[in-house]
Structure 1
Amino acid sequence: MGRIFIWAGQGSTIDSVIDTEFLGRIHNQSASELQWQGFSVLEVPIGLSLPKAIAWINIRAQPGDVALALETDTFPSSNVRGTSVFYIANNAERCTQAEQVLQSLHQQVPSLVSRGVQPDTAAETGSLAFTRQIKIPSLVLSLGFVTNLEDRALILERSPQFAQGIFKGLLHWSRRLAERGIGLPFPPIQISINGQICDEAGILVEGNAYVPADTVDQCAIDITLATTVRLLNYGGIAYIRAIDLREAGVFVGWDADTHTALLRTLLPFKPEALGNIIGSGHLPQSDYEAFLHQVNPDGLQKLPDIAQLYQEEAAIEGINPDVAFAQALLEASFLGFSGLLRPDQNNFGGLGSTGGSRESASFPSARIGVRAHIQHLKAYANEEPLVQEVVDPRFCFVTRGVAPRVEQLSRRWSAEAQYGEKILAMLRRLYGSAGLL
């Protein structure tokens, strides 16, 4: 039977008592339970950074092992709470494993609010290093939001129950892998590129589709655009994990019925143009509405014209409406306004007010709020004059043209270092829901 790696990792840092004491306590109690059952547990040293923890695991990992990261979360609104498990996207097997871990935890702590299992593409940054860069099957368990009083109380007071739930989930996961074996030889899969089945076959490794590297080369895919690319040698052939090609601007899907990896490289934009603020969008209004209905149908019901407003206002000023709408989804919590913004402010871009006020700007209507958001993006993206009368209260304070790409909004529009990456991640989710990326 394989070994189990546990890392008490990415705490919220909002409260060192919770980050160190609670995560460490859960980590130790879960490991003790597993060891008592005869499992070999490798406890990643507490305090390692994420890159060092990943390296620590990869040096020791063997086929059949699994890894789990424990973390806490925060949110600007204290009303947001709940537990979730993240798995690598497009991996149905890992999704099932995540569901088992979450179910086991909820059985031991029934008062937990479950946020369900989620692909790591749903994370704010669009992927999670712990699920992508570790050589063995891995999951990230977000135990709750320490900014919520109910979650915080559970986190501090119910550590034995948390540990018992985690232990049972890992127990089931590891045993199922042992029953299945380590997966050698890897089963072959079909590869479809732009709707055509390739002569070359791929392989399925731990639920992830891998495609031959020479097939990727033939498609002229620039894998240097991807921040993480996992390769392996099998049968004298180098294979690339398909999901990693997504960051290189390739649509990656999976047909479970035919065991086919779906790749599409014929996209309406170049991968390097994905984050450009100036330009026309690639999605119709209906795709905005379909995505919003999927993530927050209540937001669409309360703001039925929001997609149309972004398309119209962005077109007037030459701003990419896809980028603007993705940013609005990020800033306004999928138009649920569960952060610092209120619905009555009509402030979809998180625009600040003037005069040093603590409260963000407010606008008299949804259209004016969208217009202000578009104007603020234009202020950053180029030096062209506005077409319409200025309604953005901070337009004159922006150094014009300093940020033509969303990545350059980091530490400008927001103090967050990864702010631009979060917008790109939301944009990829929007395109993915439309079958574009």
Structure 2
Amino acid sequence: MRYVGLVFLSAFLALGLASHVQAESLERAGGMREPGEILGGPRHSKAKVERYARSMDSTRYIMRTIPIYYKMAPRRNIAPDVLIAQAMVETGYGRYTGDSKPWNMAGIKKGGDVGDEPRDFEKPPTARAGVRMHINHMAAYTGKKPIGKPHDRFYDARAAQKDRGYWIRNIGQLGGGIWATDTSYDDKIRNILYGMSRA
């Protein structure tokens, strides 16, 4: 009887260890990404991101897009919380104090040779179109396929990144003229992500 009990206990412990190892592998494979990584699952839940956005008095332009990012970005394995943090930087929490206008979530310009005038920026008609454009623009830099027919600037960004010889994987790679010329661009995104973690 004692032998049967030991066999049963050994089998139970082995099964528990196997499921723990499997759960850890799944978490590493598709779950929690490393801080600073762009690809992978979100580190912050949609509810946490919404709490943070409200605490920063984000406008409806941010608030309406959060669920859309969480629905669409995982289709390309791009972290929705990173894109939302980037959109907060680019739009001033949805206040649009720069040259781009509502529903352009990342200051994306039209294709070809354009300047910095308001007319040079894309003008998506809806929140969903703006989020899809942002995801597709990040897809251009990360080597991912676009969702649907991409905006014209997608092709310019994809070609430029291919010429650089590598795909973007980390927030720190977005500055230096690749996505933005601002040398503190990645720090601004990281600070927002940190704020999300505390919400």
Q: Provide TM-score, normalisation by structure 2.
A: 0.71
Identify if the C-alpha distance between structure 1 residues 304 and 275 changes in structure 2 by more than 3 Å, giving closer, same or farther.
closer
The one-character-per-residue Cα deviations of 1:181-219 (angstroms, maximum 9, x if unpaired) are xxxxxxxxxxxxxxxxxxxxxxxxxxxxxxxxxxxxxxx
The one-character-per-residue Cα deviations of 1:261-302 (angstroms, maximum 9, x if unpaired) are xxxxxxx857xx2111111102222222211111115x14x6
Task: Using the TM superposition, give the Cα deviation of residue 339 of structure 1 relative to its aligned residue in structure 2, in angstroms.
Answer: 2.6
Does residue 363 (structure 1) correspond to residue 124 (structure 2)? The answer is yes
Q: Which residue of 1 aligns with 2:198?
A: 432
The one-character-per-residue Cα deviations of 1:328-383 (angstroms, maximum 9, x if unpaired) are 0111101121232322xx101111112414232111211011111011112212x2
Give the fraction of aligned pairs with identical amino acids, expressed as a percent. Answer: 24
Q: Provide TM-score, normalisation by structure 1.
A: 0.34
Match of 1:274 among 8, 11, 35: 35
Identify if the C-alpha distance between structure 1 residues 415 and 303 changes in structure 2 by more than 3 Å, giving closer, same or farther.
closer
Match of 1:308 among 49, 67, 76: 67
Question: Does the CA-based 8 Å contact 1:372-1:390 persist in structure 2?
Answer: no
Q: Partner amino acid for 1:432?
A: R
Task: Using the TM superposition, give the Cα deviation of residue 324 of structure 1 relative to its aligned residue in structure 2, in angstroms.
Answer: 0.4
Q: 5 Å matches for 1:289-308?
A: 289-296=50-57, 299-300=59-60, 304-308=63-67
Q: Which secondary structure state, in structure 1, belongs to the residue aligned with residue 149 of structure 2?
A: coil
What count of residue pairs does the alignment treat as equivalent? 158
Q: Greater share of strand residues, 1 or 2? A: 1
User: 1:278 and 1:287 mapped to 2: Cα distance?
Assistant: 19
Q: 5 Å matches for 1:313-328?
A: 313-328=72-87
Q: Partner amino acid for 1:385?
A: K
User: 2:145 and 2:92 mapped to 1: Cα distance?
Assistant: 30
Question: Does the CA-based 8 Å contact 1:368-1:391 persist in structure 2?
Answer: no
Q: Partner amino acid for 1:379?
A: A
Identify if the C-alpha distance between structure 1 residues 285 and 417 changes in structure 2 by more than 3 Å, giving closer, same or farther.
same
Q: Partner amino acid for 1:407?
A: G
The one-character-per-residue Cα deviations of 1:136-159 (angstroms, maximum 9, x if unpaired) are xxxxxxxxxxxxxxxxxxxxxxxx
Task: Using the TM superposition, give the Cα deviation of residue 304 of structure 1 relative to its aligned residue in structure 2, in angstroms.
Answer: 4.5
Task: Using the TM superposition, give the Cα deviation of residue 307 of structure 1 relative to its aligned residue in structure 2, in angstroms.
Answer: 1.0
Identify if the C-alpha distance between structure 1 residues 390 and 397 changes in structure 2 by more than 3 Å, giving closer, same or farther.
same
Identify if the C-alpha distance between structure 1 residues 340 and 320 changes in structure 2 by more than 3 Å, giving closer, same or farther.
same
Q: 5 Å matches for 1:247-258?
A: none
Match of 2:171 among 390, 401, 406: 406
The one-character-per-residue Cα deviations of 1:152-186 (angstroms, maximum 9, x if unpaired) are xxxxxxxxxxxxxxxxxxxxxxxxxxxxxxxxxxx
Q: Which secondary structure state, in structure 2, belongs to the residue aligned with residue 281 of structure 1?
A: coil
Q: Partner amino acid for 1:390?
A: K
Q: Which residue of 1 aligns with 2:181?
A: 415
Question: Does the CA-based 8 Å contact 1:409-1:420 persist in structure 2?
Answer: yes
Q: Which residue of 2 aligns with 1:348?
A: 105
Does residue 330 (structure 1) correspond to residue 89 (structure 2)? The answer is yes
Q: Which residue of 2 aligns with 1:390?
A: 149
Q: Which residue of 2 aligns with 1:249?
A: none
- Bigger radius of gyration: 1
Q: Which runs of 5+ in 1 are unaligned?
A: 1-267
Q: Greater share of helix residues, 1 or 2? A: 2
Identify if the C-alpha distance between structure 1 residues 317 and 420 changes in structure 2 by more than 3 Å, giving closer, same or farther.
same
Q: 5 Å matches for 1:222-233?
A: none
